[in-house]
Structure 1
């Protein structure tokens, strides 16, 4: 398997540790090749472990992989400046997905490179003084993590990288055999996660390090996902072809029960992890690395070396954290006037390294259905406000532009005032468009308001609420605009403590026997109650001390369905990269995302259009990347997932 081996042996951006065992901070240095001798010392083992944390940067925050997880779902479609990378994933007739253009290729080599590093650590670590079962547990967690990601994306994948199953490989081979899905789960994912859950510490060895709670979350998710795979309610094909029979003799219901049990165990034994008191605080940049976050790909603004990318400019490639650019529309097109009587255009909302703004790429856009239906309750539920930027405020003073400006209705506005607002609901008054107000982005005007407005039905591929939760944050911007063109120096979160509740709830809906106080409705209501607590109105930019948790609980249906769980997951994790896997796991992708509504790509497009997607059963697996196929000998068709020939 030449392509995989190439990534394993020549990984120019592999990062290894240079720290002593008492350090709590990962220190890194580049390394291009791992050989067996490297893993024969404590320093080598620790270096390999550090590289496993570093590999997260090539997955989380990688915008093209991020695109594959959202574009084409009920959350997201392509935006006005989308290129082929995004048009392909939408499955709405703009391009056909194949082995060459599917951006699921972004994880193939990265995951297999890391798996081989894990193989080396696991194989040699027990012979090295100073290395414990907890250290081995870290490697086994990451090996399971990568195999789980690959199996969800491609189906069965190779356990043998050239030297035997789950064995460290240094040879070059042009052949490969894919294991079946049951083999990947029962030989690799489950044993590794069980070991990790038993041996990892409650508190991470290093800042952001893997823990027992994290391992339990992934074990529960893997049990849940495999249970769905065994049940296969909609007869979705798998590849390589395999009977939906568990090698260990368990049925789907057994796995749903295990998912429930492990998730509840994680909730009851949280270690240092907790839910934040408000949803706003979960994703607030000044509260990054809080104790709701179980795993993240870390970055820093203090060093380009440790950040993994430039602090002043991003070229749109990993390991930069640039995913947040994709769902950011070009708000810098907004203009106000320097005159109160004749429109004299001034850029009133400048590009800024601030969480509500950031660098616009206009590649992905939220669907109208997601904004209006998923987030239907914008009064009690704080998650819409804590997810999107819906109010764009003036910051022209930070660009050196002086004085007040004039905006909608020629009313004066000052820095910090609302310049353009996406309304939460359709207004009772008619919105006026065009002269004499001249919004250059096609927004409208309401009587007496100084801000231009866009109604929920006017969200388009060109202009839409931005994704506040992934916006950048810098402490070195001073009184200026900072460095908005750099990749975000914030961590990109991969796992949250809150998901334990929703995994357990989903398993309960699938028939797991529940305990008192931990029914599906009980578990969902913990998350919903928290969503009802406000301390800050994000888009109103004002304090809001309000507890709507009782109203949130009261509106939870008596019977929780899978569709309701999926809606809650979207409200909780919108735009974070969960959605495609959620829809594929539950086999609800076609049901929930085969059509969507959005306005067109041009300024002034305000007529919602219904678009159809052609989601076929074979799309539930992504194609094996062309680079892998080109490097192999033999029949590529046997290796490729059906439908992508």
Structure 2
């Protein structure tokens, strides 16, 4: 038997958070160091353990380095100007290397195991406390949730943590054996989710709690992912070695059909969930925790204790929600002038705790291909506008700067709220003057005749200056008339799962051969989401109301027959920058096909010449390495525990 140090994994979560009730935003919590079997035999222990499971989501989602591992190196994201090895390693473009030491999926590995063990404790001992199966099924959901993340990321993982398969363990142990991928799915993921669907309520026990619909989404996703694994279209190796067969005797088509049926059941029986009327409504911070959001890692501005972190300063570590910092470039370097000679420059866009801005780290950025390809339609489709900050507006007045106006591009005046910099939707008919001679933007942005705002075109987007990620930007209601607390991590919930994904899962299964129901073909399902994308109520770029319905035009443009690549493109438009992409490309084995090259301009001020970069995406990279911290604690033969290609 292989040996590995599971000491930190076997004991229940340190600093786990316990349930004492609920408020309007998040579960009430009190700290507890460890759990024991006796504790899980009490009602307080069950409630405490369940609250810890919701709290553990903060250690994965919104954690910026894990967020990076889900996006950098895909067709959505590359590393930005201030990136260190955490980000360059994940890009696979010759500037770093993914190893057991450098891969930041160690975040997931570290957070998932303690939660799995706690879930097993609740399931194993909870019935002795007279707890209903509905409550036990919340633990079943989270055990399946974590195992599903682990098996997608690392391949086969242990089901026995020291006391037997799926048993609660309180004894530190250094022995472990990795189960195969089929064993993880058929012994852990599928059974727990099926039981959860049967017993979870339609309406959440607490705000943000899991329900039948949430469990249906994850079962449908797991069926879909396992079906692809059985198909293995590109012959990618798994680990530990196992035949690409189902222990229960089903083939991939059976699983595609199950994925379709379960997803459609979720659509047809939504409970309290529903699609929001516009894409803007899904993502605008003032509408957080809306009916489309099935699961989120919660935070609050009302209390540092319940937030899980400081309300004034973040250090870039869990449980802070600091993911939004990473794709925020240093817009505070922009300058406007207090006089026409531009001899006195003022920071006209200051760091602010508002959704379009936030704390800049410049670690990750979109590629040019995203702006010109993924979001090619910026007129009918609202999702580009509802994803990115493309216009940076003056806010110097909130910092106490008294000037009523400043001089900007072409020595034209701007007032607070006016555009200081605009990322253009398309290449302009006139050439942009990027010489930056008289007009001192300080960031190398250009000018067009007659415009008071500096401009950058899509082909001029660089690793240093690029559209920010509006959809996950921070939001505070306690900023008053000032800049608020922009150095704090976001107090918004980090969205994990959305009702809309049921449509995509069903559509993908249909493309892969599932028999569809009337009005629920792959095209029908995708067009529900595309129709919503064509409906506008607000234009972020213009900062003005825009009541417009382009749903007829956008759905008419959907191909008569859609394929997997089309679904992947739609998923990127819908979920860009939310952490889905690596899993999507690995599931479908499209990673190398879609992400092997990209274009971006350089990292220096004034770089506006696109360069093409190539990535080396090898088959073994479809699994992430087991973290080196685990291997370092192993005794005996440890090499065979690591995924091939990383030793």
CA distance in 2, matches of 1:345, 1:205: 55
1:553 aligns with 2:546: no
**Deviation per residue, 1:150-173 (Å, 9 max, x gap):** 000000000000110000001111
Residue pairs, 1:161-180, within 5 angstroms? 161-180=161-180
CA drift of 1:633 comes to: 1.9
Partner in structure 2 of residue 77 of structure 1: 78
CA distance in 1, matches of 2:18, 2:80: 39
Mapped contact 2:7–2:174 kept (Cα < 8 A): no
Mapped contact 2:213–2:271 kept (Cα < 8 A): yes
CA drift of 1:25 comes to: 5.7
SS in 2 for 1:27: strand
SS in 2 for 1:311: coil
Partner in structure 2 of residue 414 of structure 1: 415
CA distance in 2, matches of 1:12, 1:268: 40
Partner in structure 1 of residue 366 of structure 2: 366
CA drift of 1:122 comes to: 0.1
Which of residues 462, 465, 473 in structure 1 aligns to 2:464? 462
Residue pairs, 1:344-359, within 5 angstroms? 344-359=344-359
Partner in structure 1 of residue 18 of structure 2: 16
**Deviation per residue, 1:201-221 (Å, 9 max, x gap):** 111100100010000000000
Partner in structure 2 of residue 91 of structure 1: 92
**Deviation per residue, 1:452-499 (Å, 9 max, x gap):** 000000000000000000100001000000000000000000000000
Residue pairs, 1:224-235, within 5 angstroms? 224-235=224-235
CA distance in 1, matches of 2:27, 2:437: 58
Partner in structure 1 of residue 8 of structure 2: 6
Residue pairs, 1:418-457, within 5 angstroms? 418-433=419-434, 434-457=436-459
CA drift of 1:627 comes to: 1.1
1:249 aligns with 2:249: yes
Partner in structure 1 of residue 530 of structure 2: 528
Which of residues 622, 625, 639 in structure 2 aligns to 1:623? 625
Mapped contact 1:175–1:633 kept (Cα < 8 A): no
CA distance in 2, matches of 1:295, 1:262: 18
Partner in structure 2 of residue 600 of structure 1: 602
Partner in structure 2 of residue 569 of structure 1: 571
Mapped contact 1:275–1:291 kept (Cα < 8 A): yes
Which of residues 489, 492, 498 in structure 1 aligns to 2:491? 489
SS in 1 for 2:21: coil
Mapped contact 2:279–2:383 kept (Cα < 8 A): yes
Partner in structure 2 of residue 126 of structure 1: 127
Partner in structure 2 of residue 135 of structure 1: 135
Question: What 5-or-longer segments of structure 1 have no aligned partner?
Answer: none
CA drift of 1:628 comes to: 1.0
Mapped contact 1:15–1:30 kept (Cα < 8 A): yes
Mapped contact 2:10–2:173 kept (Cα < 8 A): no
Question: What 5-or-longer segments of structure 2 have no aligned partner?
Answer: none
Partner in structure 2 of residue 539 of structure 1: 541
CA drift of 1:26 comes to: 2.0
CA distance in 2, matches of 1:39, 1:125: 6
CA drift of 1:23 comes to: 10
CA distance in 2, matches of 1:23, 1:323: 24
Partner in structure 2 of residue 298 of structure 1: 298
**Deviation per residue, 1:437-464 (Å, 9 max, x gap):** 1221010000110000000000000000
Partner in structure 2 of residue 272 of structure 1: 272
CA distance in 1, matches of 2:430, 2:86: 40
Partner in structure 2 of residue 34 of structure 1: 35
CA distance in 1, matches of 2:10, 2:375: 43
Residue pairs, 1:299-318, within 5 angstroms? 299-318=299-318
Q: 1:24 to 1:442 in 2, by over 3 A?
A: closer
Residue pairs, 1:367-382, within 5 angstroms? 367-382=367-382
**Deviation per residue, 1:16-69 (Å, 9 max, x gap):** 12239x999621111111111110111110100000000000000000000000
Give the TM-score normalised by the residue count of structure 1. 0.99
CA distance in 2, matches of 1:198, 1:204: 14
CA distance in 1, matches of 2:42, 2:142: 20
CA drift of 1:12 comes to: 2.8
Partner in structure 2 of residue 638 of structure 1: 640
CA drift of 1:2 comes to: 5.9
CA drift of 1:340 comes to: 2.2
Partner in structure 1 of residue 513 of structure 2: 511
Partner in structure 1 of residue 616 of structure 2: 614
CA distance in 1, matches of 2:49, 2:342: 64
Q: 1:473 to 1:199 in 2, by over 3 A?
A: same
CA distance in 1, matches of 2:219, 2:261: 10
CA distance in 1, matches of 2:476, 2:78: 29
SS in 2 for 1:165: coil
CA drift of 1:295 comes to: 0.1
SS in 1 for 2:383: coil
Partner in structure 2 of residue 184 of structure 1: 184
**Deviation per residue, 1:110-165 (Å, 9 max, x gap):** 10000000000000111112x11100110000000000000000000000001100
CA drift of 1:10 comes to: 6.2
CA drift of 1:343 comes to: 3.9
CA drift of 1:3 comes to: 4.0
SS in 2 for 1:127: helix
CA distance in 2, matches of 1:48, 1:10: 9
